[in-house]
Copies of this chain bind each other. A is one copy, B any other.
Amino acid sequence: MYQAVSSFIGSRLPRYYSYMEHLMEKGRKKVSSRELSALVNSSSSQVRQDLSFLGNFGTRGYGYPLDYLHTEIGNAIGVNRNYELIVVGAGHLGQAIANYSYFGKYGFSVKGVFDFDSRLFGLEMNGMTVQSMNQLETFICKENIQIAALTVSDTIAKGVADRLVKAGIRGIWNFTYTDLEMPADVVVENVHLLDSLMQLSYREKEIGKESYV
């Protein structure tokens, strides 16, 4: 069994999850792989592959029981856990993340926001106040934080990342364009917004071409 863990965990399971919620809200009790595939714009084969990866929750000739499967997917994507993270860098992007309202629904919560710039100290966002980077290590340790969103400027990204790891961070959600070379037991997930914008402009250009054919 092959499984593209990346789009599977990060993208397909959450989509199944939320569509199943919609169906449950309508009072539905079951769903077939075919129906679900239509909702998420996929193939029924894909859906069955994905769901069978989690276990044998379906019934042949019937479909999948919604409540059970919903719970199982929830467990798989970690809805029931509580991932606590901090935001390092309280610029616009950092503020956007600190205020991101989708986190709660999927078991994430931002516990602290940090910056070097003393003018930002005390600035309030989403029930927190921006703290000085001097507090960083203490906070990570005291609150046992595992994950940090890195939204500082590129020039200081490497140094800050090293500090984070030393302080005990095990996962860095990296919004900078700096390649972080980290120990093997630290996970780095890069978010390159520009990539997707370039992708968009490229695709738009291609479609423009077609119209002349």
Where the two chains meet, the residues of A that have a C-beta atom closer than 8 Å to any C-beta of B are 5-6, 9-11, 14, 18, 41, 77-78, 83, 91-93, 95-100, 102-103, 106, 108, 146-147, 170-171, 173, 177, 179, 185, 187, 189, 191-205, 207-208, 211
CB atoms of A78 and B201 under 8 A apart: yes
CB atoms of A11 and B202 under 8 A apart: no
CB atoms of B41 and A179 under 8 A apart: yes
Q: Nearest-CB distance from A151 to chain B (Å)? A: 9
A18 to B91 CA separation, bound complex (whole angstroms): 24
CB atoms of A99 and B92 under 8 A apart: yes
Query: Which 5 pairs across A and B sit closest by C-beta, in order of nearness?
Result: A10-B199, A92-B96, A189-B200, A10-B195, A171-B204
Q: Nearest-CB distance from A118 to chain B (Å)? A: 20
Given contacts A78-B202, A198-B77, contact A192 B11 (CB under 8 A): yes
Q: Nearest-CB distance from A10 to chain B (Å)? A: 4
Given contacts A92-B96, A177-B102, A207-B170, contact A197 B202 (CB under 8 A): no
Q: Nearest-CB distance from A160 to chain B (Å)? A: 17
Q: What would 13 A/B residue contacts be, using CB atoms closer than 8 Å?
A: A5-B202, A14-B198, A91-B99, A92-B95, A92-B99, A95-B95, A103-B194, A170-B207, A171-B203, A173-B200, A185-B211, A187-B200, A187-B204
